Amino acid sequence: MTPTQLEVQARILAQFQSWIGVKEITPNRGFQNPAFEKTMRLEGWQPPQAYCAYTVKAGYRRTIPRDLWAHLSMLMTAGAMQTYQNLKAAYPNAIVRNASVTPGSLVFWRLFENNTASWKGHTGVVEKVVKVDAQLRIHLQTIEGNTATRSLDPSGRMRRDGDGVYRMYPVTDTGTKTGLRFVGFFDPFKGGLIV
């Protein structure tokens, strides 16, 4: 029996919520939770790699219908930005940049240094849209791996590296010159991949 969209969303969110609070052995040397470390290693993670993309890949592997996962597994890599580019090329109708994003979707940011795009990025799963502010920035509730309970660095920029898996409250800032800049969501529910 094919699961409904709501069933898949519930499975995705439950999987990621079960990982909230998992701590790494810093810096990216392993995890205090042996089961989570085994999960990350099965995805290909090795110390001292960043693991945000491995976290979303592991979560989707365990929750997405098998026929879709067979294709997504070839597109989701160790790198957040490469994963985003692969998903965008394969499923352009599933890439959204507005507040209609569905819980359980993936969110992606690209790292910028002095207004120059880097190959590095960050990713997590959307739990919900909290609000859209007067500047049309989307305020989210997410679950992210390789982040920190303090989501901003000392200069006020969003961080892409941390010490565990946490619930976060990022804003889709597209104007930052140095730091993480929002690039888009992968919404398999809007793209018709999960109906």
pTM metric for this prediction:
0.93
| % residues pLDDT > 70 (the chain) | 93
pLDDT digits (tens, 9 = 90+) for 102-129: 999 999 999 988 899 999 999 999 999 9
Q: What is the DSSP letter of 53?
A: H
Between these two residues, 175 and 76, which has the higher pLDDT value? Answer: 76
CA distance 191 to 20: 27
Q: Total structural domains in the chain?
A: 1
Question: What pLDDT, on the 0 to 100 scale, is given for residue 46?
Answer: 96
* Triad 139, 164, 98: Cα angle to 5°: 20
Residue from 137, 121, 145, 136 nearest 170 by CA: 137
pLDDT digits (tens, 9 = 90+) for 35-88: 999 999 999 999 999 999 999 999 999 999 999 999 999 999 999 999 999 999
Q: Is residue 88 part of a domain?
A: yes
Q: Describe the strand order of the beta sheet including 106-113 as a list of residue ranges.
A: 95-96, 179-186, 106-113, 116-132, 138-147, 164-168
Q: Is residue 194 part of a domain?
A: no
Q: Is residue 105 part of a domain?
A: yes
Confidence of residue 190 (pLDDT cuts 50, 70, 90): confident
Q: Is residue 14 part of a domain?
A: yes
Q: Is residue 193 part of a domain?
A: no
Q: Is residue 47 part of a domain?
A: yes
Q: Is residue 106 part of a domain?
A: yes
**Beta-carbon neighbour count of residue 168 at 10 Å?**
20
CA distance 26 to 47: 10
Q: What is the mean pLDDT of residues 9-24?
A: 97
Q: Which domain holds residue 153?
A: 5-186
The chain-wide mean pLDDT, for the chain, equals 91
Confidence of residue 157 (pLDDT cuts 50, 70, 90): low
Question: What pLDDT, on the 0 to 100 scale, is given for residue 108?
Answer: 97
Residues near 141 by beta carbon (within 8 Å), at least 6 away in sequence: 126, 127, 128, 129, 130, 167, 168, 169
Confidence of residue 152 (pLDDT cuts 50, 70, 90): low
| % residues pLDDT > 90 (the chain) | 75
Confidence of residue 151 (pLDDT cuts 50, 70, 90): low
Question: What pLDDT, on the 0 to 100 scale, is given for residue 55?
Answer: 98
Question: What pLDDT, on the 0 to 100 scale, is given for residue 3?
Answer: 85
Q: Is the pLDDT at 159 greater than 90, yes or no?
A: no
Q: Is the pLDDT at 158 greater than 80, yes or no?
A: no
Q: Is residue 133 part of a domain?
A: yes
